[in-house]
Structures are given as C-alpha cells and as structure tokens.
Structure 1
C-alpha cells in the first residue's frame, strides 16, 4: 500500500462521511464531489471504475434498483398500496405496535425471497400511506422495516446483495445459505421484535379517533384499475420466480429486474411520466458516487491492508478469525457500504479459508463473514442499499429521516444481532 495515495483516499472518504452524517451539505453533492476529487487525484482505477465489477461502480446494483423502481412505479398506479394500507390499519385496529409488528413481519418474511431492497421498495409506500391515515409519524415504522429487511435478507443467497457476492466466491448454494443462515436469522428477527417495542416506544401513541375514520372503509374501493393490477401481479410474480431461480436459470438479478420493468411497462401501457417520475434518481446517483469513493479505498490498498492486518492478528486461531470476521465486518461494512466491502474482502476471506485445517472450519469462516457483512447493513444510514432507498422514498414523501435518526437505532440493532450471530457461530461450529 502506497502511503500518500492511501492517506489521501482515507481523508477524502472520512471528510465526505462526516458531511453525510452531519447533513450540512446535500449527500448527493457530497459523494459526487468526493468521487470527482478521487478521480482527479488518480486514486481510482481510471476508466476501469466504470467497467470493473469489483473495483468500481457496481452496475448490477444500480440497474437492479432502477428496474424495481420502475416496477413499483407502475404498480402504484393501480391503487394497490392504498388497499394494503387500509387493510393493515384495519387488521391492527390502529394500535401502533401491533401495526409495526404486522409491517415488520411482512418485510422480514418477504426479504429472503425478494431481496431486502425490493421488499422495502414495495412496503415503504404502504407504510407511509397507512401512517398518514392513522395520524402517526412514518419514520419509526420505516426505520424498523429496513432494519428487519437487512436481518431477514441474511437468510438466503438472494436476500442480501453481499450474500450473492459471497456465494459466488465460495461456491455456496441457495440451500447452503438456507441451512446455515436461516436458523440464526429467525432468532435475530424475533429478538428484534422485542427490541423494537423498546426502541420505538415513544411512537406508539394510539389515536382512536383516527382509526374511526379508517375502520369502516372499503379497502377494495382503493383499487382504481383491477385489470391493470392483475397484469402487474402476474409480471411481479414472474420477476419473483426468476429472482428465486436465478442460480438455476443463470440470469443475473439485475437483468431480471430490467426485463421485468420492460414487461411491466409493455403490458400496462402506462405513460412514461407516471413510472419514471417514481424513480429515485438522486438515490441512484448517490450509489454511483459512493461506489467510486469505495473504489478509491480499494485501489489504494486501504481495505486490503486492513484485511491483511486482521489475518496476521488471528494467525492459526480460527475461532478468533471467525470472531474477527463477525465483529470486524459488522463495523467496517457499516462505513464502507456492505456491498463493495463484501466484494473487496471476499478474496481475503478466501485466503483464510484456504489455510483452514478442514472444510468445516473453512465454511464457518464464510458464514461468519456473511453474517458480519449482512448485519453491518444496519450500522449506519448509508451502510446498505435498502437503507439509502428508504431514506430516498421518505424524503420524496415529505417524511424525511436524518442520518442520525436512523443510525442511533441501527447501532443498537447491529450490536444485538451481531452478538447473537457470534454466539451462534461459536455454538454451531466451534463449541462441539
């Protein structure tokens, strides 16, 4: 690692992160300025930043988000989100914690199948609508949902983007993730429901008069175009099926999302202004700049240096290595965004696994890495794709969530879930 380029990359990244955290300057302007400065100083890999999968902009993520935003924008025209909002309000009887459990459960169950980004894009509009009908602040519910999505997404290969990266590098299948990750994910999710009751208690103010206005509403009347809804649900079902089978059909999830978006537009006949207006363009630009910033840390050797020092520190103590991967990834991934972090660290973990005394120990290191990388997504407001997407949706809906408003809940959740994950790794892979 060359000292001056690495130092420059660290300084630029740190200053940008401080500006993002303090929200003194628009976060899109910050990441574009930081990315431009890194490029001007030659800290990123030249034009490769636009083409290298692991050393630049991850277009798979960008196009996955774009495709799903278009799909959600078309579906929104049917009124189905209003229908589900009224249904959720009626089922919860307007009681805030009951409503949160209902929405979080939907999010947690859907995330392993759809992936956490897609899930929050579908659930967030419903949440905002139901909270407005019941006179409740939407922010606590949106934060709880994205935290639950990041936990639930850890259960499967396709549930969280870092899992796709890790599965590809380690040769791990969908069933491998289900067998090793799903049990601890269920435990963490149940613990989170209890934690949410405490963390968001100030938001649980029941307003019976608001519920009276919703109780007798006909939810089905909110569906403005039933025929369009049927067509949209068929396309969405095909997209979900392709997501689930993408390792079998060998079509990347980003390509599935774009094909689904194109088919959705085709069968709906919706005017382009309707669905393009729902695309979170600032969020996509933010991701692009963030990937370039992380590429600067990668290209100058900062992240690999951290990984190598960690490897040297643990030596032949593989439980210490697993512990470092769980807690170290939970911390580092929270600052670097867990997608590029996972892509950068995967080769380092592969080296650790190659030196393991047996395949079981090697796999334990992969699962430790996957848990740490996935759970790091809750560490800060910019640590995972789902977080950034929800903050963008909330800002557009005039229900803004600040960096620290999200992060103070995310840190507590990350600590709790990471400890549970570490105990699970010890009991399952090392205690016997």
Structure 2
C-alpha cells in the first residue's frame, strides 16, 4: 500500500511540475504533505534520516551561497564582469555564450556546480540586458555545461563524492579517469551550441557599440566591500577544495562564510535576504521528501536491482546498462539520492568481477551516467532547479519543457560519447 502511494504521489507531482499547472514549489510541498500525512514516511524519515530525508547539506549550502551572492551583488562586480565578457567577445552573442559556458564548466570542476551557477547567472542576466537579447538560451547552456564540467573532479558534483566514499576513489583518480572524457564532451558541446540554440544570436549593432564604449571599472560601486567579499570567497573556495583535508562539509563552509561576510560588511537583512530563492529551497525540501518515500518503500532499490540482475555477470554489459539506466533515472529524480541508492549495488557487482579494471569501470559508468543524466530534465540536478528559480525571479521564466528539450539532446550526445569511451579505455585498451 505504501509503495503504491509513494509511486502515485511522485508521478502526479512530477506531472504537475512538468506541465506547470501549478507552481513547482506547491506541487513538491503538496506531494511531501501527502506522503507524510498518510504515514508513508514519518518525521524521522523526512527530517533526520540521511537516506530518506531532506538533504540539509544541499539546502544550507544553497542558503549560505545565496546570502554571499546577495552581499556580493552590492559591489557592482557582476556588472563589471558582464561588461568585461561582452567587450572581450566584441559583443557577439555566440562568442559570449561560448565564453560563459567555458568559464562555468571550468569553475564547476573546482566548486560544486550549484555555487558556480549562483555566481554566473547574475552576470549572464546583466550581459543579456545590456545587449537586449533573450537570456534563457544562455542560462540553459550554462547549467548544461555546469553539469558536464562538474563531472571532472571529485568535488565538482555531489554524486561523485558519494561514489568516491563508497568505492575508495581519490581526487586524483577522478582527474585521471573523468577529466579526459569531460574535456572531450565540452569540446563537442561547444561545437553544437550554434545549432542547439540557433536563432538566439541576433543583436542590435547599436547595442553592441554602446557596450563596447562602456568602462567596466566604473561599474564597481564599493571597492572596500569587494575586497571583503573577495577574502571571504577565497576562504570559502579554499575550504571547498580542501574538503578532504579540513573535513568541513561545504554546507557548513557556506554558512560560516555567509555569517562572516554579513558581520564584516554591515549588511542589512533586507539586502542579503533579497537574493535568497525561498521557493527553490522549499521545492528541494518537498522533492527530497517525495524521493525519500520512494527510497524507503524500496522502489528505487528495486529498479536499480533489476538493472543489476539484467547484466548476467558480463562486465561490459553491466557498464553499459549502469550508464544508460543512471542517465535515465538521474534525469527523472535528483541524481544524489539515486547514486546513494545505486552505489551499494555497484559495490556488490564490482566485488564479483575478477578483472580490477573492469570492476572500476562500473564506478565510472555510474558517475558519468548520473552526472550527465542530470541534464535530462529541469529537475535532474540541483543546479537546474536553482537556475530556473533565478530566471523566474528575473522575469524571464524557463519552462520545464523549454529546458528539457535542450537538456535531453545534450544528455543523448554526452552519453553516446561516454559509452565508446568506457568501452575503449577499460575493455579494449586496458
């Protein structure tokens, strides 16, 4: 009975989110209320369990970084970066998109991708406003590149941290095995950008001329505050990168950074809280509870188990099946709970494979499938949801299907490239 309720609630809420009949926050919270009210999950499951509850690390990481961005916005640095990027690209929308996409991808490899899009999205909105062009294609391209670039390192995407912990993989392991394919994927993604977003690169020459005459240095409004923000951000990013050394969770780092910056900047609550995407945070909370109901009732575990049973003990079949299933399921539900559920099954499979190279390939297929699969739909990865929230607040809402039409194409392309990479590297050339 509980299993059926969990499935029906998730499907109905997902359809409401996809069709946008009601706000996605309302759909997620209503779904969470139903599974809580009917006893499918209890308060212990929803609010305290690491496996089935709200991922408070994600919620508070977002909250902390949103507050930091709120203070940083007062300095004018986003305007500075927007003008700088537009001038370096000589006002060409396509060159601006490529520049911002590459910056986003590289930053996402060393920060978590949510932090990256929180910093890049305001810049993008300002660039597009200056040139009077539609920012939606740029925002979608950036979040897609963020999910691709985040796959390159252990700290770039939360699923990678889970996989590294379960498989005993190091930061350098990810650099050696994941970074090469991510570089290839980014090159291909950059090449297809003109086709994927065709019709989005028309700009008024007068607008370009106006932008080229701007002096980006005049955009900085508070140099002292910018220095303070820079020092706090440097400390925050250092703690992110040194997670394995400092053993401080990114969420704690973000909250500490936000607290320190608010204290030393003298910012008023109305200034920094205005940048907090409350709807996004509540949407995540509701989504986590609904997915937690699927985890508790065994739905996700059963799906993952069926995929594992279908391999028949063949390593190559297992690798390809894990890659495909991970891409599909990670696009439908958030890739964090999916990887948390799937990783014990992959561990069991890898223990039954004699060849250590083939066994390790299972983990890389899980990482690539989950990371790239996050691009499949608008709710496949945390960064997607955050950017949709930012776009809505900026008055340029991105619909579920507008994102998903582009994301699905990119997911197919990236998985199609990842499959031969896994085959060649771990089965042909090993």
Q: TM-score, normalised by structure 1?
A: 0.98
What residue ranges of structure 1 are gaps of 5+ in the alignment? none
Matched, 1:47 2:38: no
Task: Provide the C-alpha distance between the structure 1 equivalents of 2:425 and 2:128, rounded to a whole number of angstroms.
Answer: 41
2:404 to 396, 403, 407: 407
1:124 to 102, 121, 125: 121
Report what 1:382 is aligned to.
Answer: 379
For 1:180-195, what aligned pairs fall within 5 Å after superposition? 180-195=177-192
Task: Provide the C-alpha distance between the structure 2 equivalents of 1:361 and 1:336, rounded to a whole number of angstroms.
Answer: 28
Deviations for 1:229-282, whole angstroms, at most 9, x for unmatched residues? Answer: 011011101111111110111111111111111111122111121111110011
Per the TM alignment, residue 5 of structure 1 is displaced from its structure 2 partner at its CA by 2.1
Report what 1:100 is aligned to.
Answer: 97
Task: Provide the C-alpha distance between the structure 1 equivalents of 2:343 and 2:270, rounded to a whole number of angstroms.
Answer: 41
For 1:57-96, what aligned pairs fall within 5 Å after superposition? 57-96=54-93
Determine helix, strand or coil for the equivalent of 2:178: helix
Given that 1:322 and 1:364 are in contact with CA atoms closer than 8 Å, whether structure 2 keeps it comes out as yes
Given that 1:134 and 1:211 are in contact with CA atoms closer than 8 Å, whether structure 2 keeps it comes out as yes
Given that 2:81 and 2:123 are in contact with CA atoms closer than 8 Å, whether structure 1 keeps it comes out as yes
Task: Provide the C-alpha distance between the structure 2 equivalents of 1:45 and 1:156, rounded to a whole number of angstroms.
Answer: 36
Report what 2:319 is aligned to.
Answer: 322
Deviations for 1:127-168, whole angstroms, at most 9, x for unmatched residues? Answer: 000101001000000000000000000000110111111111
Report what 1:368 is aligned to.
Answer: 365
Matched, 1:162 2:154: no
Per the TM alignment, residue 341 of structure 1 is displaced from its structure 2 partner at its CA by 1.1
Task: Provide the C-alpha distance between the structure 1 equivalents of 2:204 and 2:324, rounded to a whole number of angstroms.
Answer: 41
Report what 1:348 is aligned to.
Answer: 345
Determine helix, strand or coil for the equivalent of 1:314: coil
Per the TM alignment, residue 359 of structure 1 is displaced from its structure 2 partner at its CA by 2.5
Per the TM alignment, residue 7 of structure 1 is displaced from its structure 2 partner at its CA by 2.0
For 1:391-406, what aligned pairs fall within 5 Å after superposition? 391-406=388-403
Determine helix, strand or coil for the equivalent of 2:418: helix
Determine helix, strand or coil for the equivalent of 1:42: coil
Task: Provide the C-alpha distance between the structure 1 equivalents of 2:122 and 2:331, rounded to a whole number of angstroms.
Answer: 26
Task: Provide the C-alpha distance between the structure 1 equivalents of 2:25 and 2:249, rounded to a whole number of angstroms.
Answer: 28
Q: TM-score, normalised by structure 2?
A: 0.98
Per the TM alignment, residue 41 of structure 1 is displaced from its structure 2 partner at its CA by 1.9
Per the TM alignment, residue 46 of structure 1 is displaced from its structure 2 partner at its CA by 4.2
Matched, 1:428 2:425: yes
Report what 1:16 is aligned to.
Answer: 13
Report what 1:137 is aligned to.
Answer: 134
Per the TM alignment, residue 45 of structure 1 is displaced from its structure 2 partner at its CA by 4.8
Given that 2:51 and 2:295 are in contact with CA atoms closer than 8 Å, whether structure 1 keeps it comes out as no
Report what 2:221 is aligned to.
Answer: 224
Superposition RMSD in Å = 1.0
Task: Provide the C-alpha distance between the structure 2 equivalents of 1:223 and 1:321, rounded to a whole number of angstroms.
Answer: 54
Report what 1:337 is aligned to.
Answer: 334
Given that 2:113 and 2:157 are in contact with CA atoms closer than 8 Å, whether structure 1 keeps it comes out as yes
**Stretches of 4+ aligned residues off by more than 6 angstroms:** none
What residue ranges of structure 2 are gaps of 5+ in the alignment? none
Determine helix, strand or coil for the equivalent of 1:55: coil
Given that 1:88 and 1:99 are in contact with CA atoms closer than 8 Å, whether structure 2 keeps it comes out as yes
Per the TM alignment, residue 415 of structure 1 is displaced from its structure 2 partner at its CA by 0.2
